[in-house]
Amino acid sequence: MLQRLDDLGAHLAARGDALALLGLGSAGVEHDRMDDHSDLDFFVIVESDAKPRYVESIDWLEAVSPVAYSFANEPHGRKVLFADGIFAEYAIFTPAELATLPYAGARVVWQSPDFDLAQGGSAPVGPALDTIEFHLNEALTNLYVGLHRELRGERLTASRFIQVYAVDRLISLLRLTSPGEGHRRDPYETSRRVEQAYPASVLPLAAMVPGYERNREAAGVILAWLEERFAVHPVIRDAIVVLLDR
């Protein structure tokens, strides 16, 4: 898979209108974690007048390897499945666009000698409030809203509030209170590699995410987890317990 990027970089270097190829995710600086289940994430930086050609056509990709399937998943790029089974997601940017983008962990696969990458690479923007108080109370209110929706019969949205949104806040709490753990966490997606960062004794995900029909059980486990580790406000705690008992 990394060879595919190297081949693509060599092709881009010969085209004359490309400026750089950046590998991201497991194709970035942490490429040692790439495995059989990884895909290729990358940015291609091109001259401003060349961008429409790279966005609208995949001839530059197929010059490296045949593409069996592709679709535009956002205005700047596509998701593609090469005929040999490699799955990739990419975006095309101009230098001016790159300079405004938050991205982390990028690896320079190739760049033109005339292009300076120092203008890009700011850190991803975190949540507006990234504090223990915020994540704790957001998790608690996620449980409260989720349980009300469960009681209304809106089980799918309830499962998202309880088993997704609240659990994301728990992971954020661990990040803030156990900074030495989870050192390879994904700066864009909270749930990535969480099982490697936190054992079940710390974060019992099987009990917190038991499935569509077990929202009430999940909420009880999450509430108990929060009470064990943090000072939970008694008003919201009691309100959740009332819903759990209904």
Within a domain: 126: no
Number of Cβ within a 10 Å radius of residue 31? 16
Q: Are 86 and 68 in contact (CB under 8 A)?
A: no
Amino acid letter, residue 24 = L
Q: Could you tell me the residue range of the domain that residue 212 belongs to?
A: 132-245
**pTM of whole model > 0.75?**
no
Same domain, 197 and 172: yes
Q: Which residue has the higher pLDDT, 155 or 183?
A: 155
Same domain, 228 and 151: yes
Q: Domain boundary residue among 119, 152, 186?
A: 119
Give the pLDDT band (50/70/90) at residue 37.
confident
Render pLDDT for 173-217 as a digit per residue (tens, 0 to 9): 998 998 655 555 666 667 777 888 888 999 999 999 999 999 999
Q: Domain boundary residue among 88, 119, 150?
A: 119
Task: Please say if the pLDDT value at position 171 is more than 80.
Answer: yes
Number of Cβ within a 10 Å radius of residue 235? 9
Q: Report the C-alpha gap between 51 and 46 in whole angstroms.
A: 6
The helix or strand, by DSSP H or E, that contains position 203, with its residue range, turns out to be none
Render pLDDT for 217-233 as a digit per residue (tens, 0 to 9): 999 999 999 999 999 99
In the numeric block, the tokens 């085209």 are attached to 15
Same domain, 7 and 64: yes
Three-state SS at 106: coil
Same domain, 164 and 240: yes
Same domain, 22 and 67: yes
